Structures are given as structure tokens and as C-alpha cells.
Structure 1
């Protein structure tokens, strides 16, 4: 009996010792945790913390949600700053940002899932599924396909409400074609909007009630619990405020008025601009892309291969982009091929970059109009520029 009791005590303390070792091991790993940039640069968590603090201070970023991925896993995540410059309420892990044009890659992913199901073809003219009265005055629109939309070769402008194009003799708010579809590149949110209307039609839905289908087919299987194109109670409760710099006071620095987002209707699914999310949720999507999750091999190849039949626009080339896939930009660098996208809703800016081969990358969201500058400094810090 005594031997049994001694054995029991011995086993109890052995388990406790093992548990303690595991805990200590975890702590040591955390202390030694580091990020490996897509260029192979090793960065400790402490060094990244210091870099982010410096950038938030120097660029006057109100809030930031950021995550880094190594070997297909999130290895670093921070939710920093404040939700609103007036209330000073801190950003936290539940905080939600506007993804702006980071909406486009995840919509493209959904479109490819539907091509896998045979719901539509990438190369069937969209008008055969759904005519588009807004551009029906130009018969050339009947050439537009899903492939052209996802690779920005539709000929449609970015947004019809932008200033008029005097060279083409069009008015503001008038939808028009800048060129014959399929013959050139022009970044277009309007093209994505047309494609989303086609998708809604094929699903017997509208842009006001298509969200549940998107959730079922994309955000739920990818474990993006708090990402949505349209408003819901969680989004409304946790969304941060967007800020756009006004005048700069020489003593107090930038004036940051809180502005409503440009042309954002929270009740309408807009595939080009209205995704609401944060870095952890969006990192789950990037990891799915890295691991070829949810798409056929054919769709994966189509998404990541160069699609352009004409040169990329000069402003994109200057930014380091090389060409475009389906819903995602491609950049060639001395250290490899990167897939990337940026977003800009005016008072929200964001960006991501991934190295699919090394399963490495990052994603961030800001609630101001200095996010693009932050991205440039981040890429330089990561030795990517």
C-alpha cells in the first residue's frame, strides 16, 4: 500500500515537473520569438515592436492591426493605437478596420470557387449571364469577361463618381469604357461591381442579401469569424473610426478629422471596397492562399499566373508591381516572386504581401491615410525594397 502511495506521489510530481518544463519552454520560445521576412531577414519581436512604435509616432498613425506569417502560421500579431482620436479608446484584438481594396483578392477567391462548381466561366462574356444597362450604350462592353475584371482589363474606370475624363468626353457619374475590353490595363472597382451583380444574379440573390452565401462558402471554412462585406452587430460594435489628415499645425502636428468613408454603403455587398476585418482574420485568408486551400489546382494556377496581355500601368510599375494575376498583383524581386495588394478608402489604408513558396508574409490595416507610407517604410525595413 505504501509503495502504491509513493508511486502515485512520484507520478504526480513527475507530471508537474513535465508541465513546468513545458511552460518554461514556451516562455523561452516566446522570449526568443522572431520574424523571418520574405527576404530572409531575422527580426526579433522586440525589434519589430520598436519599429512599429517609431513609425506610429513619426507617421501619426491613430491605429494599426498587423500580423506576420512564417511557414504558414501567424508568428507575430499586434493591435496598437487608438480607435478614435476623439475618444482615445484603444485598439484591441477585436477591433475591425475597413479593408478597402484588400476586398478584391478575397472576392476573386470566391469567384474562382464558383468557377470550380461550374456556376460561371472565366471567359464567358458577362452580359450573357446578366446584361448591364449602366454601360449598354457601348456595345464593346459585351466583350467583358470575369477574367478581364479580375485582372483589371475590362476597360471600365475605377469608379464612375471620380472626376470626369475630359479626354473621353464623359461626365462625372457616367459609366464608360476607357478602351476595348481585353486590350489594356486599368485598375477598376466598377468592373468588380459588375461581376458581383452577375454572381448575385446566378445565386438568385441581390447585393443586399448575398453576404450569408459568402460567409458560408468563404469566411466560415477559412475561420474568418469577424470578417464581413456588410454591417452586422459585431462590426458595428468593434469598428474603429477612419481619419484623414487635414491641415498640419506647426506646433500640434496633423489635424485628424474623423471622416465617413467615401461611398461606403454598409448594407450593400461591394466586392471592391467594403470588406471589414482585422489582421488576424485576413492572415487566415492569406494562409489559405499559401496552402492552396479551397480551390482546384486549375483555379490556383489561374489566380497566381500573370494574366495581362498589355503592360501594367506606369504608376503600378513605379510601385514595384510586375504584372497581375486574378484579383492579386504580382511583383518580381531578386529574392523571389511576391503576391500583394494594397487598399485605400481615403481614411483607411491597408496592405499585404506574401511569398507563396516560403509561406511567408504580412498584412496590416490602418485607420488613416498614412498607411501607404507606412507600407513603404515596412517593406524597406524588411529588406524588400
Structure 2
């Protein structure tokens, strides 16, 4: 929505506040969304990066509907499948360290991985990350829960052992969550660390993404945007960490974006 407004905003040298018009229009659109009685939205949080600087960061609405707690820029939202970017980053970190090659079959790193279709032995890490592995799709068991349930990735691997490929590895690309879940198993096999621990130590901490985490347990602190439906508020746990389990803020995600824009620095 905001990107559509950017071309008409002028340059920084003309406007002392970068993207002032975009920010004003964005604020207006967000306020309208939050106040829409037919399609109510509890909270929205936004950040915009210009070069290496965050030129706009703001939260709107409430993180807790019953308590009417105001959302802040530190309020964490589950970022869903944007979490896959972190999984891909974890994989190329392993490659940079010489632990894997993206085009080597994953059975070399995860020998316990098996499927009913013999072609499973051709699946590479690149196939997993590009949705072209041929894995069936998504293990829905304990994917979304109201309490943390460990072992989702191992359960998914066990499930795949009893299934067939739906196409040959590399033949075509079809959106596939299970491929990213297998990245969790590869990280564990090669580093001895759980995926969540590896990401925390090697990505979140170095990038100072201090308001980002995987909900591997009931959080004892931090501010979260809580889903609210039919008069009930709850905290949702996404146990598929690599494919959709990161809770973060737009500000933290701008740290990640700045690293990509800086060619890895």
C-alpha cells in the first residue's frame, strides 16, 4: 500500500522530512483500517527504511483488546511466512562455514531422512529453499496451537517417511512449508543446536533484533499483539519455526533489511 505512494513524494533535498507525504497518507490509511467497524483491525505496526536509517516507525491500535493496551513499536507480531527468509539465511550461513553445499543431496547431512519415493535421495537444500523439492506440502499436526508443543520438525520428518513425492525434485516449484521445516533438522544435525538457538545466536543477536524470538515456551516477558476473536483473546504458538514461527517487530526487521542492503554487513 505504501510503496504505491512513494514515486510522488519528492526527494529528500526538497522535503526536510523524508517521505513526509507518504507517512501522512500511510497514517491516514492505517487509522481508517483500525476504525473500520465492519472489518476491525486491532493493531498495525510499521517501519520504513531509507538508506541505512529508519525514517518512520509507528504503532497503531491496541495489542490487547480486552485490556485496551496500546501497541508500541516494541510490540511483537508473528511474521508468518516471512520467517522463511531467516531459514534461508541460516542455510547460507552453514554454506559460508563450509558445513553444507546447497546442491548436495540433504541425505548426506541428514541420513535419517527418507521417503517412500526413491527419488527423495535427490533432494538438495536448494530444492528445499526454492519450493521445488517435491515434498507434499504442510504437516498440519500441531502447527498452530494455544500452548508451545516441541518436536514439530522431527514429527514432520517422521511423517514424510510414510509419504511419496508429488513431483521429482527440481521439476517444478510448488509452495511447500515442509521444505523449510527440514532446514530445522539440517541445522540441528550439523551444529548440534536447535534451530531456534542457532538463529538466536547467529542472526538475531548479531543484528540486535532484541524484540524477536521463537515462542518455544510461554513467554515471561515482552509485548505481543494477541489475536482476539469471538470475545476470546489468546496467544498463538506457531511450532513450525523455520516456515512461520518468528515473532518480531518492523524495527527489528529493518535491521535484517539493512544487512541485506549492505550485502551481508
TM-score tier after normalising by the smaller chain length: 0.7 to 0.9
2:34 & 2:18 partners in 1: Cα distance? 21
For 1:234 and 1:258, locate their aligned partners in 2 and report how far apart those are by CA, in whole Å: 16
Q: 1:232 and 1:197 mapped to 2: Cα distance?
A: 19
1:182 maps to 170
Length, aligned pairs only: 232
Partner SS for 1:82: strand
Partner of 2:256: 285
* Aligned residue in 2 for 1:54: 32
Residue in structure 2 matched with residue 34 of structure 1 by the alignment: 18
Partner deviation per Cα, 1:180-228 (whole Å, 9 max, x = no partner): 11101111110111121011110023x3xx4333222111221211212
- For residue 341 of structure 1, what is the aligned residue in structure 2? none
* Counterpart residue number, 2:94: 114
Tell me, in whole angstroms, the C-alpha distance in 2 between the residues paired with 1:238 and 1:291: 29
8 A Cα contact 2:76 2:248, kept in partner: yes
CA RMSD, 1 decimal? 2.7
Secondary structure, counterpart of 1:237 in structure 2? coil
1:160-198 Cα shifts (integer Å, max 9, x gaps):
228xxxxxxxxx996442211110111111011112101
For 1:326-367, what per-residue CA distance to the aligned partner results, in whole angstroms no more than 9, with x for missing partners?
xxxxxxxxxxxxxxxxxxxxxxxxxxxxxxxxxxxxxxxxxx
Q: Which residue in 1 is equivalent to 2:187?
A: 199
1:258 aligns with 2:233: yes
- Cα separation, partners in 2 of 1:50 and 1:184, compared to 1, 3 Å: same
Aligned counterpart for 1:150 among listed residues 114, 129, 147: 129
Which structure's CA Rg is the greater one? 1
Q: Which residue of 2 aligns with 1:226?
A: 211
Contact 1:100 1:274 in 2 (8 A): yes
Q: Deviations over 1:14-66 (max 9, x none)?
A: xxxxxxxxxxxxxxx9x94232xxxxxx7343332212211222342101111
Unaligned runs of 5+ in 2: 1-12, 142-158
Distance 1:132 1:81 in 2: 47
Alignment of 1:64-143 (within 5 A): 64-133=44-113, 135-143=114-122
Q: Is 1:161 aligned to 2:140, yes or no?
A: yes
* TM-score, normalised via structure 1 length: 0.55
Counterpart among 198, 202, 214 of residue 213 in structure 1:
198
**Counterpart in 2 of 1:275?**
246
**Which residue matches 2:9?**
none
Deviations 1:297-328 (A, max 9, x none): xxxxxxxxxxxxxxxxxxxxxxxxxxxxxxxx
Cα distance in structure 1, aligned partners of 2:163 and 2:53: 43
Runs (5+) with no aligned partner, structure 1:
1-28, 36-41, 163-171, 245-254, 295-385
Query: Deviation string for 1:100-144 (max 9, x for gaps)?
Result: 1111002211211210111100000001111345x5222221111
Distance 1:138 1:145 in 2: 15
Q: Could you tell me how far apart the structure 2 residues matched to 1:132 and 1:243 are? A: 41
Quick one: distance in 2 between partners of 1:202 and 1:289?
25
